[in-house]
Structure 1
Amino acid sequence: MFALGVALVPIGLVETWTDTPWTLERWWHLAPLAVLCALMAVRRGRPLTALGVGVLVFVAEGFFGGSLASLLVFIELVHAAGRYGRGRIADRLAHVIVAVIAAVGVLTLVATRDLRVAIMAALTVFAVLGTSYWWGESAKQQADLVEAERARAEDLARMAALREEQARRGEREAMAGEIHDALSGNLAAITIHAEAGLANPEVAPQALQVVRTTSKQAMGELRSMLAVLRPDGGPAMPPSNLEDAVDAARGRGLEIDDRYEPALLGDLPPQVAHAAYRVVQESLTNVERHCPGGQAELVVKRDGDLTITVDSPCGVGPRSDGGYGLTSMSERVTSLGGVFEAGPHDGGWRVHAVIPLDSGEVVA
């Protein structure tokens, strides 16, 4: 821009306003032009400061006629103030420009008594200040809109990634619960009967038979879970027949006093039936761990909710699984909107679960 000013001076495109009290040699107009061009370097970082200093330089040069090059640079400074200006001063700049345009029109009318001249003066100032400012302000609003859309897209991407991570975590926790419930009870039973067979050769054949049956059952449940994990495995649920859990525990030597009608459990929603199966399976497994050869009482009621109660005369000793079984049962029941309780009761141990029957659409 300074080079343009140097080119315009020899042509004589200075003294834009000829009706001024003073005049200068045309080459003197390069000094204010140089200052205005220097302000261009900071118009993005400090647009309001650049405009403020630019106004002083431009008005001062105007008393000596001004120059076309300085006018072009000043227009760019006004545009930069609209484009990059921020804060309360920038927000009020539009009002200042409107006030300047009105003041120029009024002062011109007072000085010339000619309405047409006053209107032309106001329109000229509007062309210099108004259009350049609103052009910059429009560009700023467009840039802000683009930035807002970019930030929104980033937020949506972060939320999607978070939901995906939560889904993965939920799947991992669900699979960990399935593996624990399916295998830990069977492995515990295998350990108990293997130790009994080693300690007493007379019961070794019976213990080995239990180990064999329990191992086959564990393998069957593991295959069922692996089938669900395969891409073509479908949404099938692992085994959830409550009677199977009771029969398996009986086969391992646990005496069970069961009080329920199997016919009442035949049409349970899949998620409810599966949760009930795991609660009964894990509860009976805990009885086997802490009360080998003992007894358990199982009561299942259906009246609007499915209520499961497992009582054992033995208390609970140190947990070999870190208490994960109780945590898994609690998570299964509460995820379906139910209530789970486990703790000492009448000198023994009680597990009590209430599962709403209308929670069948909820995925455990």
Structure 2
Amino acid sequence: MRRDDALWAVACFVGGLVLLAAGAYQQRWAPAPLFVGPLAISCAGVAVRRSRPLLSLGLGVVAFLGDFAMGPSLGTVLIITDNLYAAVRYGPRALGRWMLGITSVVAVVTGVVAGILLRQLGAAAIFLVQTALVGVTPVFTGMIIRQLEDQAESERTRAEQVARLAELDRVAAVQAERTRMARELHDMIANHFSAIAIQSTAVLSRKDLSAQTVQNVLESIRENSVQGMSEMRSMIGLLRQDGEEAEAIRRRVAEVEELADRAREAGLEVRLRVTGDARELPAAVDLAGYRIIQESLTNALKHGGEAVDLMIGYRPGLVTLTVDNPVNGAGQGLPGAGAGIIGMRERAALVGGVVEAGPHDQGWRVHAELPTGKTS
């Protein structure tokens, strides 16, 4: 039993006593004090209206039968309407449909019987309306309120689901952006830092280098440092901008000669060969191809021999990238994140392409096929 329901039951009982004292009842054979019994029973139903709605309905029916046999009284009839309403609103869902049918039939039968007994059409209408007000109206009201509550609960559940989905989308977007940023930073910086590490290692390990050779190596180290810092600034500037400015860091496969030159400066012989008619590629494909070549040359510089074969093929609707290099294990001591091949495959997958990387003819081959969406 809820405290507020108990208080409401007491208030109903007091109000019913006031109506009895005011003579708001129809006396047949029973004295006025007997009407307190049905009133108390209906008020007991009010006290358990939410905790035990079926019991509230049963008490209301008993109170109605007893009160109607003696009178009836206005106070008890009004409280019984709350018993009916509470049973529909808080009871089983199917109960409302049954009670609506039952009370409707009772109202019609009451009107018909009254019309037959009194032989007056007006009396039949009055009894029909009164019975409907007492029985059908609270039942119908309870059904409407329950339906509205169900709709509100459904909307709350839907809003919570939408909020959860939005949070999942946000987390996925953040994770995807972090992955993209990590891939970009790795591809931009690893090439330069690998060249710096290899060249500085060579200078430190060789004691027979001439002053001019050392000067050339140091100049190459400085150039790689400056270019690495420049690309890092470009990335930071892009992250600070609003919106998407892909052109701010646009790299093209056609600019691969610059990568080859930097690799040559680091001591790697790059044999570049282009087949087919070079053409403008989609921005995403251009960037993916450029980064794949950059990472392949970095790996060749770290783990390969003295030469690498780089082949770029322009085919109808496709551009192919192939990097072949021997493997001598010279760079095993150099640090690495181990994410280069994973990053290349991710880049290719983002544009609908594929990357194969593995041993080939006592060396290592990276082969990428990137669709361009153009047939010529």
Q: Could you tell me the TM-score, scaled by structure 1's length?
A: 0.87
Shift of 1:91: 3.9
Which residue in 2 is equivalent to 1:220?
230
Are 2:307 and 1:295 equivalent residues in the alignment?
A: yes
Give the drift of 1:72.
0.7
The one-letter code of the counterpart of 2:228 is A
Alignment partners' CA distance in 2, 1:315 and 1:155? 56
Which moves more between the two structures, 232-241 or 63-72?
232-241
Q: Aligned residue for 1:246?
A: 260
Q: Which of 116, 126, 131 does residue 137 from structure 2 map onto?
A: 131
The residue correspondences of 1:168-183 to structure 2 (distance < 5 A) are: 168-183=174-189
Equivalent position amino acid for 1:170 in 2: A
**Which region of structure 1 is more displaced relative to structure 2, 71-80 or 89-98?**
89-98
Deviation at residue 179 of structure 1 after TM alignment: 0.7
Question: Is the deviation greater in 25-34 or in 93-102?
Answer: 93-102
Where does residue 19 of structure 2 map in the other structure?
Answer: 8
Equivalent pair of 2:268/2:308 in contact (CA under 8 Å): yes
Deviations 1:129-167 (A, max 9, x none): 111221222222223333333333333333333323322
Q: RMSD of the alignment, in Å?
A: 2.7
Deviation at 1:234, TM superposition (A): 6.1
CA contact (8 A) 1:227 1:233 kept: no
Are 1:300 and 1:306, in contact at CA under 8 Å, matched by a contact in 2?
Answer: yes
Letter of the 2:148 counterpart? Q
Write out the 4+ residue segments of structure 1 that deviate beyond 4 Å after TM superposition: 105-119, 315-320
Q: Find the partner of 1:229 among 231, 239, 244.
A: 239
Deviates more, 1:315-324 or 1:23-32: 315-324
Counterpart of 1:273, as a letter, is D
Q: TM-score, normalised by structure 2?
A: 0.84
Q: Which residue of 2 aligns with 1:63?
A: 69
Please state if 1:324 is matched with 2:335.
no
Report the equivalent of 2:203: 197
SS in structure 2 of the partner of residue 351 of structure 1: strand
Cα distance in 1, alignment partners of residues 288 and 257 from structure 2:
13
Deviation track 1:209-230 (CA, whole Å, cap 9, x = no partner) reads 3211211121111111112112
| Contact 2:269–2:308 (8 Å) recurs in 1 | yes
Alignment partners' CA distance in 1, 2:326 and 2:17 = 105
What is the letter of the counterpart of residue 310 of structure 1? V
Corresponding residue for residue 310 of structure 1: 323
Deviation at 1:122, TM superposition (A): 2.9
What is the distance in 1 between the residues matched to 2:201 and 2:347? 32
Give, as a single letter, the amino acid of the residue that structure 2 aligns with 1:301: G
- How far apart are the structure 2 equivalents of 1:257 and 1:148? 67
- Counterpart of 1:226, as a letter, is I
Structure 2: 5+ residue stretches without partners: 1-11
Q: Distance in 2 between matches of 1:150 and 1:87?
A: 20
Residue 362 of structure 1 is matched in structure 2 by none
The aligned amino acid for 1:287 is A
Matched residue pairs, number? 352
| Partners of 1:44 and 1:79 in 2: CA distance | 11
Q: CA deviation at 1:264?
A: 0.9
SS of 2:311's equivalent? strand
- 1:257 paired with 2:271, answer yes
Find the aligned partners of 1:108 and 1:136 in 2 and give their Cα distance.
Answer: 28
Asked if 1:211 is matched to 2:221, the reply is yes
> Once structures 1 and 2 are overlaid, which stretch shifts more, 303-312 or 242-251?
242-251
Q: Which amino acid aligns with 1:278?
A: R
Q: Secondary structure of 1:358's match? A: coil
Q: 293, 298, 302: which one pairs with 1:285?
A: 298
